[in-house]
Amino acid sequence: MQRILILGGGVGGTLTANLLVKKLRARIDRGEVEIIVVDATGQHVYQPGFMYIAMGGERASNLSRPERSLLDKRVTLMIGEVARVDEPTQTVTLTDGLSVGYDHLVLATGSRIVPEAIESFDTQAHHFYTAEAALDLRKALDRFDGGRIVIGIAGMPYKCPPAPLEVAFLIEAELRQRGLRDRSTIDFCSPIGRAFTIESVSDMVTPILEQKAIELHTFFNVESIDAARKVVVSLEGEELPYDLLILVPPHKGQQFLMDSGLAPAPGGWLPTDRHTLLVGDRPNVYALGDATDLPLSKAGSTAHFEAPVVAERISAAVAGRAPAGKHADYEGKVMCFFEIGDGKGTLLQFDYDHPPKPPKPSQLWHLGKIVFNKTYWHTVPKGRV
Amino acid sequence: MTDTAVAITRTVDARGSFCPGPLMELIRAIRESQVGDVIAVYSSDKGSKLDIPKWIEKAGHRLIALEVRDGYDEIIVEKQR
């Protein structure tokens, strides 16, 4: 019996488990292979929907389903928090003391937000990285009747890189529709020397920012928030006053990965091979999704395209063969929609060797994103797209 | 490694990391350093020799040297505030 242990029931963990069943069904049915997913909550949350709680009338209840309902019946689901991975004994221990051994380990443990890393973040800054925070932002926008809006990024890397720009565009459009644009300013703060990490995307969005009169501040790395003066201060010495502050919170990998010696502090991102998705020089430990240190978007899309590679490589190891076919190696494929506002969007599709060439913003890509979000539950986790 | 006679306080080896990784590594090092410390950044990303000097200027630090090495660039900066 070989046991494949998958930590995390998000996009990467769920899809990997279901793809492994497709590849190893006969061996599972003969009792030769067992697949276990360990998830902290047992609820699968569609995080890209959070932004739409703030910006599009989405409800939190539509964004969560029981993980059990998404997994093939041949996969065992365990609900519990991981405390530690012990590599010498190939054992994972949960916080309730239960230990589970593994032959193959998949770390699909995602990322976590750490707003507490910045003093006064909790009381001064809004964000949209939890359902609750997104709803609070919606309420703040409903109360907003003009003034200074500052949108920024308080730490890199972070989930869904286009999201803060999308929020800037969507808020700008909303303010126009509500007749508040003339008495409002919008500042967009980027930690790097341009609007977006990928140059071709930055070249696309910079003129749109100008056209929408959203002021771009580059090299703005959030250092502190002066709550008394209502000013956000950058490491570079710039200060921006705000009436409504929206910041992407700092992100980290899971603490137990650092405690177990799998990921270095302080970030906690797993050192992952860009093609095999193996962690370090370990032959049987894989990482995918937000948990890796790969120079790619931390996004469900990344995990979506990595999962077939992890499934193929583990299946090959179980069968004693070399990985084969188009999923033998990961080539860095990512695809995501990008809202521009006013019912328009574009598409970012790229890999390690081919930067995105975003098409002209149109209604098509906005509608594509809406349809994808609505049909997600029936497609991605089950390996149908 | 450097051609300049300056004592390096800390070295950030960001080779193999892609933009904006080396800049983010430097920013972390600057946050953790004292005024007067000298930090050397190694980067194999071609964008770093453009981005990092621009950031150093905006952030009010001092670019001491930018050396082209074998397969990477070495950028030396003094924290000034």
A96 Ramachandran zone, left/alpha/beta (phi>0; psi -120 to 50): alpha
pLDDT average, residue stretch B19-42: 94
Name the residue among A286, A309, A287 with its Cα closest to residue A298. Answer: A287
pLDDT digits (tens, 9 = 90+) for A314-348: 999 999 999 999 999 999 999 999 999 999 999 99
Percentage of chain B with pLDDT > 90?
Answer: 84
Are residues B79 and B48 in contact, defined by beta-carbon separation less than 8 angstroms? no
Give the pLDDT confidence score for residue A106 in this predicted structure. Answer: 98
Nearest neighbour of A219 by CB, restricted to B30, B50, B58: B58
pLDDT average, residue stretch A167-187: 98
CA angle at A11 for the pair A59 and A195, rounded to the nearest 5°:
75
Residue A57 neighbours by CB under 8 Å, 6+ apart: none
Euclidean distance between CA atoms A91 and A342, whole angstroms: 51
Residue of B8, B19, B59, B65 marked catalytic:
B19
Question: How large is the ipTM?
Answer: 0.90
Nearest neighbour of A193 by CB, restricted to B17, B21, B54: B54
Euclidean distance between CA atoms B37 and B34, whole angstroms: 6
Q: Which residue of A has its CA nearest to B24?
A: A156
Name the residue among A217, A219, A16 with its Cα closest to residue A107. Answer: A16
B16 Ramachandran zone, left/alpha/beta (phi>0; psi -120 to 50): left
What residues of A are in the B interface, CB distance below 8 Å? 156, 191-193, 197, 218-219, 221, 235-237, 295
Mean model confidence pLDDT for chain B: 92
Give the pLDDT confidence score for residue A140 in this predicted structure. Answer: 98
pLDDT average, residue stretch A52-75: 96
pLDDT average, residue stretch A38-45: 98
**What phi, psi does A318 have (nearest 5°)?**
-65, -40
CB within 8 Å: A156 and B20: yes
pLDDT digits (tens, 9 = 90+) for A110-122: 999 999 999 999 9
CB within 8 Å: B59 and A236: yes
